[in-house]
Amino acid sequence: MGMGMGMGQPRGQGPLDIAKERYAKGEITKDQFEEIKRNLQ
């Protein structure tokens, strides 16, 4: 139940929400985040 690092995802979160969280945590760069946003549009 949401205990592992990066394991699963909370309900109601879309890919963009996940990307935002990963960017905020420093797991991905701004460029990677922008690329994800472009790919999802």
Closest residue by Cα to residue 5 from 22, 28, 20, 30: 22
Tens digits of per-residue pLDDT, 4-35? Answer: 555 555 567 899 999 999 999 999 999 999 99
Give a yes or no: residue 34 inside a domain. yes
Give a yes or no: residue 5 inside a domain. no
Q: What is the pLDDT of residue 12?
A: 74
pLDDT band at 1 (very low <50, low <70, confident <90, very high): very low
Give a yes or no: residue 36 inside a domain. yes
The answer, as to whether pTM is greater than 0.85, is no
- Which residue shows structure tokens 């790919």? 39
Q: What domain count does the chain have?
A: 1
Give a yes or no: residue 23 inside a domain. yes
Closest residue by Cα to residue 6 from 37, 30, 16, 19: 19
Q: Which residue has the higher pLDDT, 3 or 24?
A: 24
37 alpha carbon, distance to own chain's centre: 10
Q: What is the pLDDT of residue 15?
A: 93
Give a yes or no: residue 35 inside a domain. yes
Residue 40 pLDDT > 70, yes or no?
yes
15 and 36 in contact (C-beta within 8 Å)?
A: yes
Range of the domain at 32: 13-41
Angle ∠(29,35,39) on CA atoms, nearest 5: 145
